[in-house]
Amino acid sequence: MKSAMDFEVQVIESSFVTPSEPAPRKELWLSSLDLWLANQGHTPTIYLYSSSKDAAAADHFFDVARLKEAMARALVAFYPLAGRLGVNDADGRMEISCNGEGALFVVAQADDLTADDVKKFKPSPELRRLFVPLVEPSSIMLAVQVTFLKCGGVALGTALHHIAVDALSAFHFFQTWSAFSKHGDHATVELPCHDRTRLCARSPPTVHPDALLTFYPKHAFSDPLALGPLAIQVLTISKDQIASLKLLCGGGTTSTFCAVSALMWQCTCIARQLPPNSQARLAFPADLRRRMRPPLQSHYFGNAVFRLCVTGVAWDIATEKLGSVAGRIRGAIDRMDDELVRSAIDYFEMDEKDNRPPRGTLPLTDLHISSWLGRPQYDADFGWGKPELMSLAENHRGGFVFLMNNDDGAGSGGVRLLMCMEAVNIKELVRLLYAKL
């Protein structure tokens, strides 16, 4: 079977889309949580659409002029995405210059690729090369690429700078853009909140002594060559398997995230054959919007996440009941209160920033799980139906796992796991995961 590296796409046009109405022109202050994610660069995602579901709707399928007009309207409210990353002259702090220069919009053609081909590709640098626009200069906040496929379908690749938004804010923008495309003047949209001063550090910054035991400031990356080649694996856990997994975890109020993360952590510790007395560590981003007092606005636009951390003796994680492992994760989430949030903000404000892109892989004792579960991942109907697939276009760092909704339009539900792990252990890890389901 051919891989993504065996194909090419042809760029037809490249332009910038600017707000359709005058938008605020100012320098947007960035919180310490924004700056903490500056070196992550642009997050690459892909939405896959088919034109075969409704022949009538296929007329002018993914009309470029309509998409650009809708984006221009959305950028009026989401004006930071039409700006550029800059640096404040007075203090050297990074900021977004809301100057209305626009978002990059690329149109491309893939004469040899069908939607079925794209579905078979795993997240990879090659997949990103095909469908996600190369962002130059890197100060551009938003770039999209509409690629027309041989079958008549469309791959919509997106790149959003992580310094500007977290996943929830990104999905809010795509919901709004697609709503303007589908409904025009009748679109119902919720305006974003751009007041990032709610996440200012305290004066003076103060970190609670217990806070560093709960949130995870920095990943320690290893030399990627030390652990050997990496492998990408995409797994699916069905809705029924999720229900059974929750029962294994004690049922009740066990969340899908806690249940799946507990399973993944336990199986990873076993597959990696960690020394029994070593400290295993699980880290995951957590949303703080509802944890602050008073709560942050639900449509706060920016980064409102930081990593929580759970540690345990590897033997214990590998052998105790799955419900106990899930309880450890739930406990870390429950300890996330206003003081912990404030301590994290203050810590990152005091911390010296390293703006180099993260390189390498996590040590075998560490696992990082990011979750988009429950997010409006598939709410991007531009007028021609919801996407058949929405996914990261690339996951290249060892030890990182993404949990995503598995909604293929057929109501299958369940969870998709995108894993980048050391190749020597991934086969046994997959076997263990399915053996426990």
Concatenated DSSP letters of 212-250: GGTB-----PBPTTTT--EEEEEEEE-HHHHHHHHHHTT
Within 13 Å, how many C-alpha atoms sit on residue 181's CB side? 26
Contact 272, 314 (CB under 8 A): no
Starting at the edge strand found earlier in the chain, the sheet holding 84-87 runs: 26-29, 94-98, 84-87
Residue 424 region, left (φ>0) first, then alpha (ψ -120 to 50), else beta? alpha
> CA-to-CA distance for 413 and 433, rounded, in angstroms?
18
Q: Which of 162, 172, 219, 368 is catalytic?
A: 162
Fill in the amino acid letter for 294.
P
Q: Is the dihedral of CA 422, 428, 431, 434 positive or negative?
A: negative
Residues 6+ apart with CB under 8 A from 22: none
> What is the maximal distance between C-alpha atoms in the chain?
63
> CA-to-CA distance for 261 and 350, rounded, in angstroms?
31
- In terms of Cα–Cα distance, which of 284, 242, 280, 304 is closest to 371? 284
- The reply to whether 381 belongs to the active site is yes
Cis peptide before 294 (omega within 30 of 0): yes
Calculate the alpha carbon distances from 33 to 66, 164, 217, 355 in Å: 35, 10, 11, 13
Of all helices (H) and strands (E), which one includes residue 15?
Answer: strand 10-17
Helices 423-435 & 256-271, crossing angle to 10 degrees?
A: 130
> 3-state class of 335 per DSSP?
coil
Q: Which of 63, 316, 381, 396 is catalytic?
A: 381
- In terms of Cα–Cα distance, which of 107, 54, 66 is closest to 385? 54
- The reply to whether 408 belongs to the active site is no
Concatenated DSSP letters of 72-98: HHHHHHTGGGGSEEEE-TTT--EEEEE
The DSSP call for residue 346 is: H
Six-digit token string for 280: 């295993």
Q: Is the dihedral of CA 47, 48, 52, 58 positive or negative?
A: positive
Concatenated DSSP letters of 108-126: EEETT--HHHHHHPPS-HH
Catalytic residues, which ones?
162, 381
